[in-house]
């Protein structure tokens, strides 16, 4: 996306949303619970592997997924983040750490911004099974 001036860029960046995928929870839908079939299990191993007849996926309440939103602030020097920190936590350190780490790799047009507040929403998607 091309920005014509700093004012437009300032409006766009705070509303940016980064969608990160994880294999341990399902995609969010409009019902009160998520579609359990969207959870990815990599494999069942050990003696139980050949004994499993029925293994339903857990059903995750939608409210639990809604808590995976955080807000982060980055300080920039010549378009390169030199500091990234949590403003409002997702409630999960591992998600916050992943967001901060990703934001440190972002790049911006030089001399346009000195800082930005970025909301990040973690969305869960079905990923292909791992190759064995």
Give the model confidence (pLDDT) of 99-114 as tens digits: 999 999 999 888 778 8
Q: Is the pLDDT of residue 24 over 50?
A: no
Task: Check residue 95 and give its pLDDT.
Answer: 84
Chain length of the chain = 132
What CATH number does the domain containing 101 carry?
3.30.1150
For residue 107, is it within any domain?
A: yes
Residues spanned by the domain of 21: 6-39+56-122
Distance (Å, rounded) from C-alpha 110 to C-alpha 3? 13
Number of domains in the chain: 1
Contact (CB, 8 A) for 121 and 25: no
The confidence band for 67, taking pLDDT boundaries of 50, 70 and 90, is low
For residue 35, is it within any domain?
A: yes
For residue 47, is it within any domain?
A: no
């Amino acid at each position: 996306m091309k920005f014509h001036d700093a004012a437009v860029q300032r409006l766009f960046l705070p509303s940016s949303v980064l969608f990160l995928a994880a294999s341990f929870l399902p995609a969010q839908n409009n019902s009160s619970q998520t579609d359990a079939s969207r959870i990815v299990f990599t494999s069942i191993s050990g003696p139980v592997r050949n004994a499993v007849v029925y293994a339903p996926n857990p059903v995750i309440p939608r409210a639990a997924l809604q808590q995976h939103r955080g807000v982060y602030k980055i300080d920039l020097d010549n378009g390169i983040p030199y500091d990234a920190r949590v403003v409002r936590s997702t409630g999960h350190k591992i998600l916050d750490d992943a967001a901060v780490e990703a934001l440190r790799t972002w790049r911006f047009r030089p001399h346009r911004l000195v800082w930005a507040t970025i909301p990040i929403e973690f969305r869960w998607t079905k990923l292909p099974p791992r190759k064995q």
